[in-house]
Amino acid sequence: MNGFTKIEVLIVGIIALLIIGFDVFIIFYLNDKGYDVQTLSEISQVRSGLETFLLANNYYPIETSQVNLNDSYAGTQKLCVEGFKKYTDSCQRTIINSMPNFYAEKGNVYIYKSTDDNKNYQIELTLKTDFKAQGLKKGKNCATNFQITSQSCF
């Protein structure tokens, strides 16, 4: 007898579909994880810039209501020693030339607000996956001048 039986072909087909499905799942998961690593890296850059601002001014940039970072309308595209400004505005000294947000076109937003008479700040960010070792969960998280917590800021 030459060839394969229908059962053998069916089993091989099912195994191939399972492998393809698993690969697709892993690819999407790793894509989301890469998004989150980029987000956490950008938040780290912003937090470092805010600490530099604090050293120069003894307070954090004043924003008593929530503003989107890297927003031309809100004027938060860059951070200068005088505070947040638009790209076109001049600075005495630039701290962050361009607020990082690699995934802005995909709807990624960082929301900033100063608190406690500008002695503290909150930045809300969204993650697509969990980071169990850091205690961060999928969804809204809150970065402050002390830590990043797995809860919404606002």
Cα dihedral 48, 49, 52, 58, rounded to 10, equals: -110
Phi, psi (5° rounding) for residue 144?
-125, 180
Q: What pLDDT digit, counting tens, does each position of 90-120 carry?
A: 999 999 999 999 998 888 999 999 999 999 9
- Long-range contact set of residues 42-46: C-beta below 8 Å, sequence gap at least 24: 42/100, 42/101, 42/102, 42/110, 43/110, 43/123, 43/125, 43/143, 43/148, 45/96, 45/100, 46/79, 46/96, 46/99, 46/100, 46/110, 46/123, 46/143
If you write DSSP's letter for every residue of 84-99 in order, what string do you get?
EE-TTS--SSEEESS-
In this structure, is the dihedral angle defined by the CA atoms of residues 20, 25, 26 and 30, taken in order, positive or negative? positive
Phi, psi (5° rounding) for residue 111?
-110, 125
Q: Which residues pair with 115 in a beta bridge?
A: 120
pLDDT at 105: 86
pLDDT at residue 6 above 70?
yes
Q: What pLDDT digit, counting tens, does each position of 7-60 carry?
A: 999 999 999 999 999 888 888 888 899 999 999 999 999 999 999 999 999 999
Cα dihedral 57, 60, 64, 67, rounded to 10, equals: 120
pLDDT at 28: 87
Q: What pLDDT digit, counting tens, does each position of 74-91 carry?
A: 999 999 999 999 999 999
Write down the pTM of the prediction: 0.85
Q: So where are the chain's domains?
A: 6-68+102-149
Which residue carries 């999928």 as its tokens? 138
In this structure, is the dihedral angle defined by the CA atoms of residues 60, 65, 66 and 71, taken in order, positive or negative? negative
One-letter identity of residue 39 = T
pLDDT at residue 2 above 80?
no
pLDDT at 1: 61
